């Protein structure tokens, strides 16, 4: 049976709720108002289901928050219109089209949000993909080459006459054999070497050698200074996020990589410092642990929208 189109006005109201909730943490009055709005009709309930699905797939258009709206030059009404159009598309179509960008979907190896995957490469080397990652593999008689499309990987490259190469959007890694992680940060990449050494080559620039125990951020601005490797460069392989005096907002941003939807930090808690080992394999368990450790509580609008606020 063909699905009946939703009323554009109702879709617009659902989009308005998404924008309002992204601009400010949800209050008790907000939660009650949304429940009342959803209960008005089957169309209201379906519109909110689609809104939740957008959250779950992390497909809200960029710039929902007030600062981002100002930065992009889009008015609040323009952003609402974009959201309304997006939710009006038939669910079967946008679930396929928007679940993963084409380059990631078409990659040789990939993981969904919250998934980690350990694999053996054709030469016996090993690779672990972190949450929401995608990699292409191209081994031949001359070289062993990976291409990081998105996300983060941990590589154990075995010795071989062929060089081991990893392409990223910001530069090329080269090593005969090493254990290292590589993360795409968007406007830069970060490599952390855990054993042996890796050479990083930028287009038109001299290469930089990164030794065991070091990490390097590189991008369009060139190389940043070498630093000691962060323990979290490999802790995620074992499903852990290690915090040592880490700001709560930064920790939640990192934990948010492992779950669908929005994980917000109340601005009053941003500077709260956290020390401990937080599980990322089960982000809900990680949040519950934070609530036990700290003077905070979890406010859940939906399973896709969680705010950490003062207890």
CATH of the domain at 112: 2.60.120.1440
- Mean pLDDT over 105-133 rounds to 93
User: Domain check: are 168 and 288 in the same one?
Assistant: no
Residue 167, beta-bridge partner list: 147, 172
Q: Residue 227 has which token pair?
A: 């630093």
In terms of DSSP H, where are the helices of the chain? Answer: 8-23, 28-38, 42-56, 66-72, 76-88, 91-98, 102-105, 232-235, 248-255, 283-293
* 176 and 64 belong to one structural domain: no
Residue-range definition of the domain harbouring residue 123:
105-233
Alpha-carbon gap, residue 37 to 32, rounded angstroms: 9
Q: Which of 40, 109, 114, 163 is nearest to 279 (CA)?
A: 114
Least confident of 10-14, 45-49, 118-122, 243-247: 10-14
Last residue of a domain, one of 183, 208, 233: 233
> Is-above-0.85 flag for pTM?
no
Cβ proximity of 154 and 121 under 8 Å: no
- Considering the domain boundaries, does residue 161 fall inside one? yes
Same domain? 229 vs 109: yes
Contact indicator for 210, 193 with CB cutoff of 8 Å:
yes
Residue at 289 is within a domain = yes
Residue 304 lies in a domain: yes
Q: Are both 92 and 117 inside the same structural domain?
A: no
159 or 21: which carries more pLDDT confidence?
159
Round to whole Å and give the CA distance between 259 and 96.
19
Residue 127 burial (CB count, 10 A): 20
Write out pLDDT tens, residues 13-62: 887 777 777 666 667 777 788 888 888 998 888 888 877 776 655 555 54
- Which CATH number does the domain housing residue 277 bear? 3.55.50.30
Domain boundary among 98, 116, 132: 98
Angle between helix 28-38 and helix 8-23 axes, rounded to 10 deg:
170
Instruction: Tell whether 118 and 203 lie within a shared domain.
Output: yes
Residues 119 and 44 in one domain: no
In angstroms, how far apart are the furthest CA atoms of the chain?
68
Domain count along the chain? 3
Tell whether 3 is covered by a domain.
no
Angle at 296 between CA 295 and CA 301, to 5 degrees: 165
Within a domain: residue 50? yes
Q: How far apart are CA 234 and CA 178, in angstroms?
A: 14
Residues 277 and 302 in one domain: yes
The mean pLDDT of the chain is 84
Same domain, 93 and 136: no
Tell me how crowded residue 305 is: count the other CB atoms within 10 A of its CB.
20
Q: What's the pLDDT tens digit per position in 161-210?
A: 999 999 999 999 999 999 999 999 999 999 999 999 999 999 887 799 99
Q: Write the DSSP assignment of 83-121 as a string of letters.
A: HHHHHHS-HHHHHHHHSS-HHHHTSSEE--TT--EEEE-
74 and 141 assigned to the same domain: no
Contact yes or no for 218/200 (Cβ under 8 A): yes
Whether 81 has a pLDDT exceeding 50, the answer reads yes
Contact 279, 286 (CB under 8 A): yes
Instruction: Give domain status of residue 246, yes or no.
Output: yes
Each residue's pLDDT tens digit, 57-78? 555 554 444 444 444 445 556 5
For residue 192, being part of any structural domain is answered with yes
Six-digit token string for 30 = 């907000």
On whether both 298 and 190 belong to a single domain, the answer is no
Nearest to 128 by CA among 140, 137, 120, 136: 120
Q: Does residue 82 lie in a domain region?
A: yes
Q: Which residue has the higher pLDDT, 76 or 266?
A: 266
The answer to whether residue 107 scores a pLDDT higher than 90 is no
Shared-domain flag, residues 259 and 220: no
77: three-class secondary structure by DSSP: helix
The pair of structure tokens assigned to 239 is 């499903």
Do 212 and 167 lie in one domain? The reply is: yes
Give the end of a domain, one of 54, 70, 98.
98
What would the two tokens of residue 211 be? 């030794």
């Amino acid at each position: 049976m063909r699905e009946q189109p939703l009323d554009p006005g109702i879709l617009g109201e659902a989009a308005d709720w998404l924008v309002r909730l992204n601009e400010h943490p949800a209050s008790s009055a907000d939660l009650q108002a949304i429940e009342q709005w959803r209960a008005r009709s089957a169309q209201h309930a379906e519109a909110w289901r689609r809104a939740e699905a957008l959250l779950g797939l992390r497909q809200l258009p960029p710039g929902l928050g007030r600062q981002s709206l100002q930065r992009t030059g889009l008015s609040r009404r323009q952003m609402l219109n974009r959201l309304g159009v997006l939710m009006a598309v038939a669910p079967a179509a946008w679930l396929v089209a928007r679940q993963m960008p084409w380059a990631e979907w078409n990659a040789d190896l990939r993981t969904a949000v919250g998934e980690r995957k350990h694999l053996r490469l054709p030469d016996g080397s090993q690779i672990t993909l972190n949450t929401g990652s995608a990699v292409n593999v191209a081994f031949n008689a001359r070289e062993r080459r990976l291409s990081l499309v998105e996300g983060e990987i941990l590589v154990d490259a075995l010795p071989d006459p062929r060089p081991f190469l990893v392409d990223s959007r910001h530069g090329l890694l080269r090593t005969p054999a090493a254990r290292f992680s590589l993360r795409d940060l968007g406007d830069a990449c970060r490599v952390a070497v855990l054993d042996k050494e890796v050479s990083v080559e930028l287009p038109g620039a001299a290469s930089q050698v990164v030794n065991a125990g070091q990490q390097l951020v590189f991008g369009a601005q060139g190389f940043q200074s070498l630093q000691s490797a962060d323990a979290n460069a490999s802790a995620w392989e074992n499903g852990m996020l290690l915090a040592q005096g880490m700001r709560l907002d930064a920790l939640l941003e990192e934990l948010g990589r492992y779950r669908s939807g929005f994980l917000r930090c109340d601005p009053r808690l941003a500077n709260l410092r956290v020390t401990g080992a937080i599980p990322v394999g089960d982000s809900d368990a990680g949040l519950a642990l934070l609530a036990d450790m700290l003077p905070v509580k979890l406010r859940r609008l939906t399973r896709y929208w969680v705010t950490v606020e003062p207890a």
